Structure 1
Amino acid sequence: MVNPAWLRSFRALAAEGTFTRAAESLELTQAAVSQHIRQLELQYGPLLIRRPRRVELTPAGEALLAYCDEVERAGRCLASRLADADALQGAVSIVTPGSVGLSIYPKLLEIQRRTPGLVIRHRFAPDEEVLAAVLDNRYEMGVVSRRPDDERIAVQPFCEEALELVVPAGAAVNGWEDLVRLGFIDHPDGQAMATRLMSRWYPGKRSMADVPVTGFTNQIGLILEPVSRGLGFSVVPRHARQAFLRPESIRVLEECTPVVDALWLIHRAEWALSRRAQYVIDELHRDLVKP
């Protein structure tokens, strides 16, 4: 096993760039840091290129820095596991896509209000960033719309999310031609969502490419704002529609069976969710429907 003090010195040197600043950050002498690096280089070969202003890592140094990161993540995991005696105390972190995040964030706040010992940290992110955040151990758990195929990730059903076609409350919509007349309020996933839903509702009609785009936003919480003002229709996940603050100004069309997606809860497969995290998930499931 590598001496932890040597690794701390190496990590500080990689971060600070000079032996002097590394020693100051660790409250050690420069000689002590130099000795630690010397011991590592005796074991692993050249780790640094010593430049006048800043050291540069060799490929071996980059590999050792990655190992340092792994050791730190393992240490955080151990601390979390050892501190997991009380399910109602400590930090819980979760990262989700915007639509379901809009729905669960108020519920997370209510859970924390009822359970003052918990500190809940939530972040909005697309699927790719959710997966990366969980893999990097920056968040204990995440929610994704596409089930990942990665042996490092444990997956379980979280809830269902239906796509909905939403029009202005006062709009007369009796078919495809009325939607074309209204125009489409687009968003980053808008065309894909609309194509999936419209192909089921209006088979044989022309594609979404024939529907004029009358607006666009990349903010999930604002997609229905132009719809509420009569500027077009949109297709959004149900959680986004349910979170809209002026439901009286919009209307959901219910032409046929909706398109329903499963959402998945993910966490690192190497260890189970903490009792705190499982408590939060159990509380959320009181209001969310599992697939």
Structure 2
Amino acid sequence: MVHPQWLRSFATLAELGNFTRTADQLGLTQAAVSQHVRHLESEFGPLLIRRPRALELTPAGNALLDYCRELDKADERLRTRLSDADGTNGEVSLITPGSIGLYLYPVLLAFQQANRGVVVRHRFAPDPEVVEAVLQNRYELGLVTLPPDDARLTASPFTSESLELVVPAQETAHTWEDLARIGFIDHPDGQAMASRLLSRRFPANPGVGSLPCRGFCNHIGLILEPVARGLGFTVIPRYAHQAFARADAVRVVDCGSPVVDTLWLIHRSEWPLSARATRVLDYLRQHVWGCATTPFPAPA
């Protein structure tokens, strides 16, 4: 590796074109500057043509000056990345479950539109994958439905999300018989979610398994599509419903006492969040605060 002081002397000399002024600017002697240049020329060949009133760079000198400039730019990028002073440049990475992800991803894109120096990287994943991705530093931020028991992670309440009984817009669901008539649209968490919510609304029900199944979908963004087409009802987290484009084609049935889950924000506990992540979280919380689901304040 080339000695940084030699490169600094050479780059300053190339800029000023004079050994004396270079030495004064760097706080060195003229002999020291000359020695630095000789060290470089012993390694790379002639770098300067010394003329009475000026210095001219050889092709090797120009190549070395370009190298010095690239090092300066790399140093600036490193300092910017480490200081992250304004939080308006660089990557923001977030990994979340599907429901909240459907709601937050367009919000993240709006943030990126307003901050073109930021690159948004978002992934949908179940809780175990979210935890592993944050632990392995593949994502800076994650949201999970249960706080992980791991000292390497900090977990704080981000927002809460209720379950909703969603039926076709033209349907009513006052009784268990209504649900049996409409039929159930299942999904990977459908049975568990429906059991939790419907036991509140219909405490003496014979179980979700007794309802006719009219379909199954494992894509969180499409679960409500068969409901909108009148093919059945489902139970789904509120954020997934809020992200559904055809809101007028479905209807939420009031089930009385709500079933509410907390969504937890996780990140590595050993180092602080980047300024970008902090800005994004503030932005996301503002939008979550504006929706019907109960948010939590930012941790102190």
TM-score of the superposed pair, with normalisation by structure 1: 0.71
Aligned CA distance change for structure 1 residues 79 and 268 (closer, same or farther; 3 Å): farther
Match of 2:196 in 1: 196
Shift of 1:187: 0.5
| 8 A contact 1:81–1:274 mirrored in 2 | no
Q: 1 CA distance for matches of 2:121 and 2:142?
A: 11
- The residue number in structure 1 matching 2:7 is none
CA shift, 1:182, in A, is 1.1
Aligned-residue offset at 1:83: 4.1
CA distance in 2, matches of 1:288, 1:80: 30
CA distance in 1, matches of 2:95, 2:205: 38
Q: What is the aligned partner in structure 1 of residue 84 from structure 2?
A: 84
Residue 92 of structure 1 contacts residue 121 of structure 1 at CA under 8 Å; is this kept in 2? yes
Looking at structure 2, the residues matched to 278 and 109 of structure 1 have their Cα atoms a distance apart, in angstroms, of 16
Question: Number of aligned pairs?
Answer: 214
- Root-mean-square deviation (CA, aligned residues, Å) is 1.5
Q: Which residue of 2 aligns with 1:285?
A: 285
Give 1:175 shift: 1.2
User: What pairs with 1:27-38 in structure 2 (closer than 5 Å)?
Assistant: none
Q: Which residue number in structure 1 is paired with residue 101 of structure 2?
A: 101
Q: Does 1:126 align with 2:154?
A: no
Q: How far apart are 1:85 and its partner, in Å? A: 2.2
Q: For 2:131 and 2:81, locate their aligned partners in 1 and report how far apart those are by CA, in whole Å.
A: 21
Alpha-carbon distance change, 204 to 269 in structure 1, aligned in 2, over 3 angstroms = same
The one-character-per-residue Cα deviations of 1:24-63 (angstroms, maximum 9, x if unpaired) are: xxxxxxxxxxxxxxxxxxxxxxxxxxxxxxxxxxxxxxxx
Q: Tell me the distance in 2 between the aligned counterparts of 1:209 and 1:237.
A: 20
Q: Is the 8 A contact 1:168 1:228 kept in 2?
A: yes
Partner of residue 113, structure 2: 113
Per-residue deviation, 1:159: 0.8
Residue in 2 that maps onto 1:276: 276
2:221 pairs with 1:221: yes
Conservation of the 8 A alpha-carbon contact between 1:184 and 1:211: yes
8 Å Cα contact 2:197-2:255 kept in structure 1: no
Q: Is the 8 A contact 2:102 2:239 kept in 1?
A: yes
Report the CA distance between 1:183 and its aligned residue. 1.0
The residue type equivalent to 1:208 in the other structure is: V
Q: Which runs of 5+ in 1 are unaligned?
A: 1-77
Q: Report the identity percentage.
A: 57
- SS of the residue aligned with 2:215? strand
C-alpha contact 2:165 2:255 (8 A) present in aligned 1: no
1:71 equivalent in structure 2: none
User: Paired residue for 1:262?
Assistant: 262
1:248 corresponding residue in structure 2: 248
Matched residues in 1 for 2:156 and 2:81: separation?
21
Larger radius of gyration, structure 1 or 2? 2
Q: For 2:84, give the aligned amino acid.
A: D
1:173 Cα deviation after fit: 2.1
The DSSP-based 3-state class of the residue aligned with 2:221 is helix
| Structure 1 runs (4+) greater than 2 angstroms displaced | 78-81
> Quick one: distance in 1 between partners of 2:145 and 2:80?
27
Residue pair 2:200, 2:255 contacting (<8 A) in 1 also: no
* 3-state DSSP of counterpart to 1:222: coil
Deviates more, 1:202-211 or 1:92-101: 202-211
TM superposition shift of 1:79: 7.9
Task: Report the Cα offset of residue 257 of structure 1.
Answer: 2.2
SS at match of 1:277: helix
TM-score (norm 2): 0.69
Q: What is the alpha-carbon distance in structure 2 between the residues aligned to residue 184 and residue 247 of structure 1?
A: 19
Structure-1 separation of matches of 2:229 and 2:262 = 31
Runs of at least 5 residues in structure 2 that lack an aligned partner in the other structure:
1-77, 290-294
Q: Distance in 1 between matches of 2:79 and 2:120?
A: 17
Is the aligned partner of 1:147 residue 2:147? yes
